[in-house]
A and B are shown apart, each in its own frame.
Chain A
Amino acid sequence: MAELKEASDEDLLSVCLRGEAGGWEMLLDRYAALIYSIPLKYGLPPGDAADVFQSVCVTLFEKLDTIRAPRGLAAWIITTTSRQSLAVARRRRREQTRSTGEDPGTPDPDLLPEDELLGLERQRIVRAAVERLSPRCRKLIQALFSDVAQQQTYQQLADGLGVPMNSLGPTRARCLDQLKRLLVAAGYTQ
């Protein structure tokens, strides 16, 4: 399972297609939050988001053999989930129109801008990269980027991490460098 965690999307898809244990679970681990968050972003309630999640997973499972490009999986998931979320959002609106007989007075929902959805994918990549850092670096990065850290002095930050203050700078540089390399490898773009 630990090896699968480091596997590329393309390798993970191959593992799934061969029916090897753990592949599908790892794929879900990697993309569950992204899939579930898109219908929520469309304003759907949690029940509908759960249905979209299941529907996207069924489609993904059925089409595993057609997704080949190593960088294509996230884009496929975003497009599929976005379209299915939109279809549910439109259906809900029509049901409302039909049951009340009145126009809700708001425009028919449309696909969300691609950049908004890619923002979710950027968040997923960053979180996954932070998870892959060494425990010390992960702790430091999380501390550095938390809102609380903005209020702290270097001494307080060093005390919280249990390191001498004069090693904080070099450690931070090394950890940021490590994070940046992981992000570049994962295809992270601004």
Chain B
Amino acid sequence: MNLDQDYTWIRGVRDALSAAELVEPPDWVRQRATQLVQSVEPRASRTLIERVRASLVFDSRRAGIVHAGVRAGAVLDGPWQLLYRGGDVDIDLLVRPNQDGHTLNVRGQALPLAGEVIDAGSVEALPADVPRPLHGPAQASARSELEPTGEFALANLERGRYDVLVRVGAREIELSGVEL
């Protein structure tokens, strides 16, 4: 092997061996994970659609410490952020009011914590106070496909209460009564 010709390869190996970024976990951390196999059975493959209702875990309109169950105060004029968790998916919403005072844009990201790549997904905002038909699709106020990164955008929504449906693979996550 000619070391000059293979300098790039050698350098890559040397860098990898000298880098101190790869850290072994403490023994107790590894042992705790090892014990999983004694306490949990692997699940069967998921084939049916799983419906999950997401819960609100963060609302930037609630400044400082608030008591559990206390609703947000007056809606601010500036942008605000909401974070929901539905099953193992985090859904971030950044709400930005338009200049006209009665519509707003929502940009968001659905982040499956289980690592799957999003190859199909969509988001719909449905008026929360309008009954939905038992069969067939409901009339959405705005709809967006999910990007592979999980990002989406809902444009020019009227202010109001919405049920936001996020479809990620075989999961449908409902964000109920989102006040926009």
B22 with A33: CB separation less than 8 A:
yes
Instruction: Please give, as numbers and ranges, the residues of chain B lying within 8 Å of A6 by CB-CB distance.
Output: none
Does A123 make an interface contact (CB < 8 A)? yes
Provide the bound-state CA to CA distance between A101 and B65, in Å: 8
List B residues 1-35 near A (Cβ within 8 Å): 1, 3, 6, 8-10, 12-14, 16-19, 21-26, 29-30, 32-34
Which residue of A16, A66, A145 is within 8 Å of B17 (Cβ)?
A145
User: Residue on B with the closest CB to A41?
Assistant: B21
Fill in one digit per residue for A118-151: 1 if any B CB lies within 8 Å of its CB, else 0.
0110111111001000000000001001110000
- Give chain A's interface residues, CB within 8 Å of chain B: 16-17, 24-25, 28, 32-37, 40-41, 46, 49-50, 53-55, 57-59, 61-66, 76-77, 79-81, 83-84, 86-87, 90-91, 94, 97-99, 101, 119-120, 122-127, 130, 142, 145-147, 173, 176-177, 179-180, 183, 190
- Give chain B's interface residues, CB within 8 Å of chain A: 1, 3, 6, 8-10, 12-14, 16-19, 21-26, 29-30, 32-34, 36-37, 40, 42-46, 57-58, 60, 62-65, 83, 88, 90, 111-117
Ranked 5 nearest A-B pairs via Cβ = A80-B115, A126-B16, A36-B25, A101-B64, A57-B33
